[in-house]
Amino acid sequence: MPSERRGKPDPARSLALLWRTGEPTGRGAGPGLSVDRIVRAAIDLADAAGIDALTMRRVAEALGVATMSVYTYVPGKAELLDVMIDTLYGVMSRPAESPEGWRSRLERIARENLALYRAHPWLLRAETSRPVLGPNSMAKYDYELGALTGLGLTDVEMDAVLTLVLGHVRSAARAALDAVNLERETGMTDAQWWQAHAPWLERLVAPGRYPTAARVGTAAGQAHGTAHDPGYAFEFGLQRVLDGVAVVVGERVGGAAVVVDERGADVGR
């Protein structure tokens, strides 16, 4: 979590900024400057250089204004991050027509969130367990809960299921990002890393000492071409999460697991 978030928040200032109430128009703010322009510049900066490069000074430089002009609109980096997150939530796809079946709807939500993290990896560090209470965040939550309506789940269970699915997405996105960063930092792909280490491992570990690990590790490596395939892990994990949700849904509608077709549409119980 960014250290800038450790200070005591001011709810009035944060919410006024998120909901754009009373946006300042004072002198010295710079020509055409607004919260939206500042946030767009900040997102572009974070996308290009990462969250560590995001400072109020660099955002001001990108806009061609004095740093204090940015502070006229945004109190600090913590508040800026909240508005950046809320802004990106607002550009996510929310089609009016939903796929048939709760499972297909949750799959689409998972993939939409994964696409957001892939496009803006810094979100993985910017988000916290405390929700951003902006209009787009609320709209996103409301839309995603719609995938779970009418299934007999309690409100608490609906929230828990959504939290479970999105938690899997974040975990998968973080693992994929770690793999990219590790390759960049070491200058080696996973395959190259294993090629370099395998001969040493063979010398150090006696044959047959770890038979299960050797068998499974070899099978996984041959299947994925590497020790870990983030894409496979996401897909496999998502289906297992949804299998678990199906059990809960089945219990609520009569004690039988919900049967789904290849599209994830409910076809029987």
Domain limits for position 43: 10-90
Is residue 149, in this structure, part of any structural domain at all? yes
Q: What is the pTM of this model?
A: 0.88
37 and 160, same domain (yes or no)? no
Cα 249 from Cα 263, distance rounded (Å): 17
Looking at the fold, whether 85 and 140 belong to one and the same domain comes out as no
Measured in degrees and rounded to the nearest 5, phi and psi for residue 267 equal -125, -5
pLDDT tens, residue order, the chain (269 aa): 444 555 677 888 889 999 999 777 655 556 689 999 999 999 999 999 999 999 999 999 999 999 999 999 999 999 999 999 999 999 999 988 888 999 999 999 999 999 999 999 999 999 999 999 999 999 999 999 999 999 999 999 999 999 999 999 999 999 999 999 998 999 998 888 878 888 888 888 888 999 999 899 889 888 888 878 999 999 999 999 999 999 999 998 775 444 444 444 454 43
**What CATH number is given to the structural domain containing 252?**
1.10.357.10
Same domain, 86 and 114: no
Domain CATH number, residue 68: 1.10.10.60
Instruction: Give the pair of three-digit tokens for residue 187.
Output: 């200058």
Residue 53 lies in a domain: yes
Whether 108 and 77 map to the same domain: the answer is no
The answer to whether residue 106 sits within a structural domain is yes
Domain count, the chain: 2
The helices-and-strands tally (H runs, E runs) of the chain is: 12, 2
φ/ψ of residue 10, rounded to 5: -110, 100
Please report whether residue 207 resides in a domain.
Answer: no
